Structure 1
Amino acid sequence: MNDNVKKIHEASMRILNKTGMKFYHPDALEILKNHGIKVDGNVAYFTEDQIMEWVRKAPSTAPLYASDSRFDMQIGGNRRYNGPCGGATFIMDKDGQTRPALFSDFIKLIKLFEGNPSYCLNGGLACQPNDIPTESYITLLALASMLHTQKCIFAAAGDYESMETLIQMACIRFGVTVEELKEKPRLCTIANTNTPLYLDKIMTETVLTMAKYRQPVIIASAAMAGTTAPVTLAGMIAVVNAEVLATIALAQMCEPGAPVIYGSQSTNADMATGAIAIGSPEGALSYKYCAEMAKFYGIPSRAGGSLSDAKSFNVQAGYESMMTCMACKESGINIMTQSAGIIDSYLAVSYEKLITDFEILDFIERYLKDIDVNADTVPLDLIHEVGHAGQYLIEEHTLDYCRSELLAPHVSVRGAIADPVGQFEKNIEKRMEQLLKVYQKPDISTEICRDLKALLLKEGIDEAYIDMAVDS
C-alpha cells in the first residue's frame, strides 16, 4: 500500500473528529443522530470507528444494467468504464467561438456516445441546453437518454421530487417494479459534496433517494486546491477524503449495503487567475489518489476524464487531455466520466475534441493492453527464414496479426499526405459521420413512450419539450 494513502486516511479521520462535516438537511442530521453520531447544530463529528463501521458496509462492486445486456456494468475491481461529458453550457466551434448548447446538441452527443463501442454508460448532463426550462432539466434529459440509448443510464442529481420521478421513469422504461429495480439497478448519478466540508440539501436528497432504491450513486468532491481546499495536494486530498467518507457513511446509515462509488473531480485553482485548472498535472494526481483511496476502502471509484482548459481546439487540448485520461486509466479508476469533448475548463463541449478524445481513449486502451509473448507472437522460425535483409509485409504471419496487434487510428494522419492539416480535419468529420450513421434509436414500444409522456405531463412538464425528446 502507498504510505501516502495511510497518512491521508489518518489525517481525514482527525478532520472528521475535530472539525467535522456540516450537513444542511434535517433528514441527514436525524439519521446521523439516530446512529449515535455526535451532532452540534448542523455539524457532525465522527470517530474513526464510526466512519469505518459504515464505510465497510458499502459493497465493493456496483452493478448497473442496460436495456441491451451487452452493456451491463459491474463497476469495481479492475474494470474500467468510460462515461459521457457533462455540465457544459456551450458548444465550441473549431475556431474557439462558442454558442449556447441546445437540446438537439444533447441528443447528438448521446448518439455519438452510443455509436462508440467503448462506452457502456450514456446520458447524464452531457450538456446543459438553454432552450429547455432549467427546472425541467433532470426529467427531460433523463427522458431523452432513456429513449435514445440502449446502454446504462446516467442521470442528473436533484431534489426528492425529481429523484422520485426518475425512479418512476426507470420503472416504466424497463418494465419493472420498484423491487425489481432495487434488485437490478438501472440508474446512476453523481452527488457532489461542497468543499470545504459540507453537504447541501439537494445533494443530500439525491444521496438518500438513490440509497433508498439501491441505485449506484457517485459521491464526489470537486475541490480546488488553493481556493476551496488547502493549496497542498495532500491537504486537499485529505479534505476531499473526509467529505466523501462522511457522505458514504450517511448513505449506508440510510440503506446498509447500498451501492456507492467513491468520486473526486478535484483539481487545483490557477494561482494567477483564481480559475479552475482541469487540465493540470495536479488534477491528474488528484484522480490517481481518488483511485488509491477507493481501493484502500474497497469501494469502486470515479474521477477525471479527458480534460483541458484550452480556449480552442488546439495542441493544448490534446496534451492536457492525454495526461488526465492516462492518469485515470493507469491508476485504475472504474468510471472515468468527462471522458470526451470537454474544453475550456468545463464551460464547453467541442465536437472535434470529442472525436479526438475517442482516439485518445483507443490509444490508451491499446497501450494498457500491453503485449502477449508466446511462440506465435515471437515467430522464431519466420525470423530465421526472413533473415538479415528481408521483409515481413507479405508474410502470412503479418496478415494473421496486423488487425489484432496494431491499432488502426480513425483520426491520426500518417504517411505522405499533401495536406496533413486538411486531412486531419476531414478524418474528424468522417469519423463523426460514421458514428452518427451507425446509431440506431432503441425500439421502444408506443405504450412505454405513452406512459413516460403521461408521467411527465402529470409532473407539469410542457408537452412541446417532451415531444422534442420523443421525436428526435
Structure 2
Amino acid sequence: MSASRPRKRGGSQARRRSSAERRDPMLGHLSRNLPIVEPLAQQQIERIDHESMRILEEVGVVFRDPIALEDWRKAGVRVDGERVYFDRGHIRELISSIPATITLHARDQGHSVELGGPNSIFVPMTGAPYLRDLDDVRRYPTLEDLGIFHKLCQMLPAIHSSAHHIVEPMDHPVPHRHLRITYSSMKHSDKTFMGMTTSGKNAEDVLDLCAILFGADFMEEHPVVTGNINGNSPLVWDATMLGALRAFGRRNQPVLCSPFVLGGANTPAS
C-alpha cells in the first residue's frame, strides 16, 4: 500500500491569498563603487569655490524673514536691511558641522536607508497637479489616487521611499491637505517618507505626526523624515521656507535645500 500524500487545502483561493501576502524584499540603497569622474581640473574647482564665496561676501543673500535676520545678527554676521553678507571662514565652519552620512529610519527598520557619501536611493517624483488614469482621462488627483501611489511605492522593491504628495489631492482643502498627505504616506507604506514644508505650521504638524509614529524620544536622536525647502533664485530665501527649516531643525530632522529655478523667469532661458 502506498503512503498517501498530504493534500493542500484551500485550492485556488489559498493560492490567491498566498500570492497577495507575498512581499518582495526592498532592494538596498545603492552604494557607488565606481570612481568619481572629475570633469574639472582642481584649479577650476578652486576658482568656482572662490567666486561662490566672493558672491556670498560681496553680493550677499536676501532673507525675507525677520527671525532669520535676527538669528544671523546673533551669529555675528553682517546684516544690511534684508541682505546678509557672509564670511567664507564662517561658511566653511558651518559646512564642516554637517554629518557626511546619516541613517534615515523607516517604520520597518529593515527599510531604513543610508544617505550621503557614496549612497543613493530611488524616490518617486512629487507634486504632480494632474494625472492620467486607467481610462486615459487627464484629471485632478484625489486622496484615493495618492493612496494608490503610496501602495505602489510599498510594493516596488526598487523604490526606497513613499515620498509625500506624489500627486496633489485636490479633493481636500489646502489647510488640511498636508495632514492627509502625511497620514497616507504613513498608512500605506512602512518605508521612509518626506514631510510637507509648505509652511512652518504645516511642518510642525507633520513632525507631530512623526512623533506619534516613532516616539518623540526616538526622533530626538534619529532622523525619521526629510524636508525639502527651495531658495528663490537668485539669492533669496523667504519666510515660508525658513519657517519650515526651523521647525525641522528644532526636532533634529534633516532638510534638503535646493534652488527654485524657472528657466527664462529667474534664470537664463538656456
TM bin (shorter chain): 0.7 to 0.9
Correspondence 1:114 to 2:138: no
Deviation, structure 1 residue 123: 3.1
Report the equivalent of 1:216.
254
8 Å contact 1:191–1:218 — kept in the other structure? yes
One-letter identity of the residue aligned with 1:201 = A
Report the equivalent of 1:10.
50
Aligned mate of 2:100, from 38, 56, 60: 60
Q: 1:144 to 1:93 in 2, by over 3 A?
A: closer
Aligned mate of 1:189, from 203, 224, 227: 227
One-letter identity of the residue aligned with 1:183 = E
8 Å contact 1:63–1:73 — kept in the other structure? yes
One-letter identity of the residue aligned with 2:203 = M
Report the equivalent of 2:60.
20
8 Å contact 1:82–1:118 — kept in the other structure? yes
Off by >6 Å, runs of 4+ in structure 1: none
8 Å contact 1:88–1:126 — kept in the other structure? yes
- Output the CA distance in 2 between the equivalents of 1:158 and 1:93: 27
Report the equivalent of 2:26.
none
CA RMSD of aligned residues (A): 1.9
Correspondence 1:143 to 2:202: no
TM norm structure 1:
0.47
TM norm structure 2:
0.80
- Output the CA distance in 2 between the equivalents of 1:208 and 1:30: 13
Deviation, structure 1 residue 8: 2.5
- Output the CA distance in 2 between the equivalents of 1:95 and 1:52: 54
Correspondence 1:85 to 2:125: yes
Aligned mate of 1:206, from 224, 227, 244: 244
8 Å contact 2:124–2:166 — kept in the other structure? yes
Three-state SS of the structure 2 residue aligned to 1:131 is coil
Deviation, structure 1 residue 96: 7.5
Q: 1:225 to 1:8 in 2, by over 3 A?
A: farther
Q: 1:130 to 1:156 in 2, by over 3 A?
A: same
8 Å contact 2:196–2:202 — kept in the other structure? no
Report the equivalent of 1:104.
144
Aligned mate of 2:82, from 8, 28, 42: 42
Report the equivalent of 1:416.
none
Structure 2: 5+ residue runs without aligned partners?
1-37
Aligned mate of 2:218, from 152, 163, 180: 180
Report the count of equivalent residues.
230
Deviation, structure 1 residue 63: 2.0
One-letter identity of the residue aligned with 2:220 = K
- Output the CA distance in 2 between the equivalents of 1:111 and 1:94: 16
